[in-house]
């Protein structure tokens, strides 16, 4: 069961060492401690600076196109029963997903710190594109580390990053995917922390990143709460979001954390519960350390991060943000799963019934909302789904593997 009314304002976490309950912290090689402390101290200053906050507000409004709307998916809702589904349209944020919310914050922080270059790794390329966009906006250099295998798979995003002026640097060791790209980016960071700053892509990594990214994503929840009340006169009964690293979920949840609203995180169950077939870290993982922080982690018998899968490349990470782990333990948030198959259905159903093609990541949250609606067709509940991104990036894959979706018409 999910407990709702206990207020647990996020302002009280993490603690000074960066822990959310048992999770988070800083587990890094000595070379990274000083650069992280520099980021932490700079963030402490700017997060209280009127000028910084004003400038970020201006950027959100005039460059990103915020606020993004909340939309009542009335036609879809009607087909499913009496549950009313609403969408927070982060797909309409500039670059087509919520990731730009924290990338613009990180870019502005980098400029305040006097850095010349933003660096990061990227898996499918979504974070790389958002960060390259921020770098272009602020006139900063940008190096994106990407596994050689991923570069071949995600050619359009590699092209986007290059057009935006970023250098895309292939990680050529090991399996040549995301993990190797993280290694390469961190190695580069340690070599020159004076001119460069590392910009993470979700509420993961060592302190202060999970806190900082959450704070930058909070705008999603603050807007959504106000918009939902204005539209309906009430709070939603349930707020749902997909969870990869957990940034879009923390963003929307933070707007409702102190309200009597159920919060549902939806993890990718991929092809099923066997190891290697999914990336449901909180549902099947156990405590471990990855990329400098402690969290629920999918591990093999030797304690190494397990291989993971999801049809949504933005969700296939063996770890998860530390704050989510704590929200699971304290039962403030309920964590559920959706399979590849359910996400595929939701992808086509939303496209056909509402004229909105969702990202496959976001389709997981929508699939969960559809399941709730079908399970209780007579119950007039409201569910607000964070539609974290648009599906343009997924269209070629979907057409090739599932066709135009005629089998999914409801």
Q: In this chain, which stretch among 50-58, 144-152, 163-171, 354-362 interacts with ligand PLP, using CB under 6 A? A: 354-362
Contact assessment for residue 26 and residue 291, using Cβ atoms and an 8 Å cutoff? no
Q: In this chain, which stretch among 114-122, 139-147, 273-281, 355-363 interacts with ligand PLP, using CB under 6 A? A: 355-363
Residue 291, CA distances (Å) to 20, 26, 121, 224 in order = 16, 9, 12, 31
Which of 268, 389, 394, 398 contacts ligand PLP by CB under 6 A?
389
Half-sphere exposure of 38 (CA within 13 A, CB side): 19
Q: Which of 90, 106, 121, 323 is catalytic?
A: 121
Does residue 122 interact with ligand PLP by CB under 6 A?
Answer: no
121 is an active site residue: yes
Among the listed residues 323, 196, 315, 300, the one whose alpha carbon sits nearest the alpha carbon of residue 245: 315
* 189 Cβ contact partners less than 8 Å away, ≥ 6 residues apart: 32, 35, 119, 196, 197, 198
Which of 129, 243, 261, 370 contacts ligand PLP by CB under 6 A?
243
Contact assessment for residue 346 and residue 366, using Cβ atoms and an 8 Å cutoff? yes
Residue 27, CA distances (Å) to 30, 33, 179, 206 in order = 9, 9, 16, 7
Q: Which is nearer to ligand PLP, 242 or 372 (CB)?
A: 242
Other C-beta atoms closer than 10 Å to the C-beta of 80 total 21
Does residue 99 interact with ligand PLP by CB under 6 A?
Answer: yes
Which of 10, 70, 97, 338 contacts ligand PLP by CB under 6 A?
97
Q: Which is nearer to ligand PLP, 83 or 362 (CB)?
A: 362
Among the listed residues 309, 78, 31, the one whose alpha carbon sits nearest the alpha carbon of residue 188: 31
Q: Which is nearer to ligand PLP, 81 or 251 (CB)?
A: 251
Does residue 362 interact with ligand PLP by CB under 6 A?
Answer: yes
3-state secondary structure of 367: helix
- Smallest separation, CB 114 to ligand PLP (Å): 28
3-state secondary structure of 15: coil
Which of 77, 247, 310, 339 contacts ligand PLP by CB under 6 A?
247
What is the residue whose two structure tokens read 């039962």?
A: 331
Which DSSP state fits 91? G
328 is an active site residue: no
356's tokens? 């909105």
Number of residues that bind ligand PLP (CB under 6 A): 18
179 is an active site residue: no
Which DSSP state fits 119? E
Q: In this chain, which stretch among 24-32, 174-182, 241-249, 280-288 interacts with ligand PLP, using CB under 6 A? A: 241-249
- Smallest separation, CB 52 to ligand PLP (Å): 23
Q: Any bridge partners for residue 145, and if so which? A: 121, 169
Which of 212, 242, 346, 366 contacts ligand PLP by CB under 6 A?
242
Q: Closest-CB residue for ligand PLP?
A: 389
Site string for ligand PLP, 308-347 (x = CB under 6 A): ------xx--------------------------------
Strands 167-171 and 141-147: parallel
Which of 68, 133, 202, 326 contacts ligand PLP by CB under 6 A?
202
Summarize as ranges the residues that interact with ligand PLP (CB under 6 A). 97, 99, 126, 202, 242-248, 314-315, 359, 361-362, 388-389
Q: Which residues are catalytic?
A: 99, 121, 388
């Amino acid at each position: 069961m999910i407990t709702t009314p206990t207020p647990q304002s996020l302002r009280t976490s993490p603690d000074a060492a960066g822990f959310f309950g048992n999770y988070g912290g800083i587990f890094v090689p000595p070379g990274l401690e000083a650069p992280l402390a520099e980021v932490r101290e700079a963030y402490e200053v700017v997060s209280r600076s009127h000028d910084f906050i004003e400038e970020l507000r201006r950027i959100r409004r005039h460059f990103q196109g915020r606020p993004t709307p909340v939309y009542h998916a009335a036609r879809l809702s009607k087909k499913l029963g009496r549950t009313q589904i609403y969408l927070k349209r982060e797909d309409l944020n500039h670059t087509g997903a919520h990731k730009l919310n924290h990338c613009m914050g990180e870019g502005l922080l980098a400029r305040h710190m006097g850095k010349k270059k933003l660096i990061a790794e990227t898996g499918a390329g979504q974070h790389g594109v958002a960060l390259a966009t921020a770098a272009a906006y602020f006139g900063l250099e940008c190096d994106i580390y990407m596994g050689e295998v991923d570069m071949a798979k995600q050619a359009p995003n590699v092209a986007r990053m290059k057009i935006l002026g970023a250098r895309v640097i292939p990680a050529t060791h090991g399996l040549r995917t995301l993990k190797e790209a993280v290694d390469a980016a961190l190695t580069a960071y340690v070599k020159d922390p004076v001119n460069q700053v590392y910009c993470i892509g979700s509420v993961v990594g060592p302190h202060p990143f999970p806190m900082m990214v959450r704070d930058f994503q909070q705008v999603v929840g603050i807007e959504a709460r106000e918009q939902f009340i204005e539209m309906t006169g009430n709070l939603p009964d349930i707020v749902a979001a997909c969870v990869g690293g957990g940034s879009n979920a923390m963003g929307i949840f933070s707007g409702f954390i102190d309200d009597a609203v159920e919060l549902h995180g939806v993890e990718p169950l991929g092809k099923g519960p066997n190891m290697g077939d999914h990336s449901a870290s909180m549902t099947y993982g156990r405590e471990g350390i990855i990329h400098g922080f402690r969290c629920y982690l999918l591990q093999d018998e030797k304690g190494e991060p397990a291989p993971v899968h999801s049809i949504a490349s933005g969700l296939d990470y063996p770890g998860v943000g530390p704050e989510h782990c704590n929200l699971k333990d304290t039962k403030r948030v309920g964590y559920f799963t959706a399979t590849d198959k359910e996400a595929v259905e939701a992808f086509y159903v939303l496209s056909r019934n509402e004229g909105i093609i969702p990202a496959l990541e976001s389709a997981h949250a929508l699939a969960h909302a559809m399941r709730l609606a079908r399970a209780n067709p007579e119950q007039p509940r409201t569910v607000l789904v964070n539609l974290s991104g648009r599906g343009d990036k997924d269209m070629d894959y979907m057409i090739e593997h599932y066709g135009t979706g005629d089998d999914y018409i409801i």
